């Protein structure tokens, strides 16, 4: 397992989630010396049990950008909030997936559930 850094709501210090929201939640998997985030298979990624949201065209809502300004490519994914298996008392959201080579990746970020 390769540990990955996860940033829920990149470029924001608040990770507030309203579970009844019909919006999408942006989440970045940060590239590092340990992993090139672009090698992660988007189709394998789950955040709190939810798959990456899709477009009408069938492709995933995913992009590659440097969200933290460290010069490394980060993988930004979007999840439908209503698909997340979170409870009102949860304080962490766990992300898991695999590289295209089949190596498991695992990370988490703190969250605040708001009514």
* Confidence at residue 99, expressed as pLDDT on a 0 to 100 scale: 97
Name the E strands within the chain. Answer: 2-3, 5-8, 16-18, 24-30, 46-47, 50-51, 62-65, 74-80, 92-98, 104-110, 112-114
Beta strands 16-18 and 112-114 are parallel
Q: What is the pLDDT of residues 26-52, one digit of tens each?
A: 999 999 999 999 999 999 999 999 999
Q: Which residue has the higher pLDDT, 11 or 7?
A: 7
* Confidence at residue 18, expressed as pLDDT on a 0 to 100 scale: 97
pTM of the full structure: 0.95
Give yes or no for a contact between 29 and 40, defined as CB atoms under 8 angstroms apart.
yes
Is the per-residue pLDDT at 115 higher than 90?
Answer: no
Is the per-residue pLDDT at 11 higher than 90?
Answer: no
Q: What is the mean pLDDT of the chain?
A: 96
């Amino acid at each position: 397992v390769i540990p990955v850094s996860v940033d829920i709501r990149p470029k924001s210090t608040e990770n507030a989630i309203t579970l009844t929201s019909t919006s999408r939640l942006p989440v970045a998997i940060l590239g590092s010396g340990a992993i090139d985030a672009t090698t992660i298979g988007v189709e394998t990624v789950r955040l709190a049990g939810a798959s990456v949201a899709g477009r009408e065209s069938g492709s995933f809502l995913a992009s590659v950008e440097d969200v933290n300004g460290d010069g490394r490519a980060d993988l930004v994914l979007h999840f439908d909030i209503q698909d997340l298996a979170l409870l009102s008392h949860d304080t962490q959201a766990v992300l898991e997936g695999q590289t295209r080579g089949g190596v498991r990746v695992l990370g988490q970020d703190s969250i605040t559930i708001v009514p």
